Chain A
Amino acid sequence: MRERGIGRWIVAIPMCLLALATIYPMLFTLNVAMKSRREYVLNRFSLADHLTAANIADAWNTTGLGRYTFNSVLVTAGSVALLLLLGSMAGYAFSQLTFRGRKWLFLVCLGALMIPFQVIMVPFFRVLGQIHLLDTYLGLILAYTGQFLPFTIFLMTSFYSRIPAEIVEAARVDGSTTLGVYRRIMLPLGRPALLSVGILNALFCWNDVLISLLVMQSEQHRTLMVGVTALRGQYSDNIPLFAGGVLVAALPVIAIYLFFQRQITDGVTAGSTKG
């Protein structure tokens, strides 16, 4: 159905304004990050005199953002690797294998989707302390894996259930074992799903602040998002430098969005259309 004539243009106006309202705050911040402190104090809206990355470089060099970025990359990469491995294994079993209790176990995994981290925060903190994983990379990786695994299993299961049983049968006739089918068929055929789910999980881990605040206690283990919140206190009188720090933290996400937009929106809608 395609609306024609003047109606199309009448709706185009509010859509355009809203698009502007969505994108302008970010462009504003970009512009501020390019300004000197003096320029910002004199005029909030003027375009930066000359394009400079001085604030971004300053924020990077003077505030420990480099260290925080390293922490975030390490923890995100570790969590995504673990999530994809465990998620695809369980997803294969739930979608293609028959074994006793399959339905119930799957229900347990899905039920965990409805337990938000806020609700288990206190005992989680204690349990992690008891096994001496507080303030460690492994502790945070496990925390993220626990947090996002139910969602990952859900998506991987629904993806793998679309792989025709005939392909699996054929491999079995050729003498492949159940685990061989996982390695030779599920992993290669699942690559688009793994990419999509991996990017989503990477965004979740990268963007998180609550779990990281709870698990990482020492300054040297801070992740990037926690580092940015700390900048706010330190540089409340130097907004351009603060904006520079914000940009550093946002740039990887912006890049991922520009490259993998399709995969991201496909991933988030896969959970909804299935319902």
Chain B
Amino acid sequence: MPIPAARRTTATRRWRWNEHKLAALVLVTPALLIIVGLRIVPLVLGAQYSLTGDGDRNGLFVGLANYRTLAADPVFRTAIKNVGLLFLALPIAVAVPGLLATFLFLKVPGHRFYRSVYFFPVVLSPVIIGAIFNILLSFDGPLNQLLGKAGIPPVDWLGNSHIAILSVIGVHIWATFGMALVIFMAGFSTLDQSLLDAARCDGATLPQTVLHVVIPELSRTIQFVFVTTMIGMLTGMFGLVYVMTAGGPGGATYLPEFYIWVTQGQLNSPALASAASMVLFVLMLVVGFAQIRLIKRATKEV
């Protein structure tokens, strides 16, 4: 009686397949609902808002008018100019932790301790960091007093429109270089030890080893750090700006994210804020192009 037996096997398999399919559905659906509902739908809505008007033209299609307003807005132009400064600061924000990670990899005395200390500010909120530096950098604060003792006139770290943005960027780098450091160190731990031994046998000096072995071997890590550091600068500085300067003096420390927040909340122009959001998103995508490739590689393993 081969036929009923075969039928039964198929039935069992179909039942199991269904149970399996149902379970997968139950497991994935809640997460997908949240991600689609709270991230992807708002993104689409935001793109749509950016083409509508504010105030009495609320909801009306205005084409690219918001983008033209942005392009003419001196405050937004400052915000974009400050993004340019972030790009200029990027090599420092990558090179310093890279160099430190190399030292730590070479196991200087106390490397564990240094790693812990350097990473510590990363876990603190930008609000806490901003508050601490608000105290340190205030005009009558400790840093200026110290400078005074050395005979240097006080600097208005947060009140001078040319210096304030540099102060904020500097504090951001100070607070986050530990992050890049541990990523570099994770990269080092995957480095093939035999390559280093071979370099040493060939009599390579330390700078030669770094230049010809370490940097090429770690190119993926370096690329990753560049992208994550830049994205961190584009999207992680709100707290610092909010606490340290509130965008001032005279709008000198605006960044796109701060502009979006002020335009949406204080100025009550959500459509204009949406347009600024889209500009920031495009900036992010340009930077994140490398990240897309990393994600592609990650999904191959699933």
Q: CB within 8 Å of B: which residues of A?
A: 1-3, 7-8, 11-12, 15, 18-19, 21-23, 25-26, 28-29, 32, 44-45, 86-87, 89-90, 92-95, 97, 99, 102-103, 105-127, 142-143, 145-146, 149-150, 153-154, 157-158, 161, 177-179, 182, 203, 206-210, 213-214, 225, 228-229, 232, 239, 242-243, 246, 249-250, 253, 256-257, 261, 264-265, 268-269, 272-275
Contacts and interface: CB of A to CB of B under 8 A. Distances in A.
B78 to A, nearest CB: 17
5 contacts: A19-B118, A105-B32, A109-B32, A114-B288, A121-B264
B294 interface: yes
A178 B24 contact: yes
A214 B261 CA distance: 8
A44 B149 CA distance: 13
B85 interface: no
Given A15-B114, A22-B117, A120 B277 contact: yes
B235 A8 contact: no
Contact of B127 (A94, A107, A125, A249): A249
Nearest to A86: B31
B49 A123 contact: yes
Contact of B23 (A12, A97, A264): A97
Contact of B302 (A102, A145, A269): A102
B182 A113 contact: no
Given A86-B30, A112-B39, A120-B43, A242 B135 contact: yes
A153 B298 CA distance: 13
B42 A120 contact: yes
B34 A142 contact: yes
Interface residues of B, number: 110
B280 A118 contact: yes
B123 to A, nearest CB: 5
Interface string B281-302: 1001100100110110111011
B131 interface: yes
Contacts of B116: 261
B80 interface: no
Given A1-B196, A213-B242, A257-B123, 10 more contacts: A3-B206, A22-B118, A105-B28, A109-B31, A117-B235, A121-B264, A122-B277, A178-B23, A249-B125, A275-B294
A242 B301 CA distance: 50
A77 B116 CA distance: 26
B19 interface: yes
Closest 7 CB pairs between A and B?
A: A146-B38, A178-B23, A207-B125, A123-B45, A120-B42, A269-B186, A275-B294
B142 interface: yes
Residue among B24, B43, B220, B299 having the largest count of chain A Cβ atoms under 10 Å:
B24
B179 interface: yes
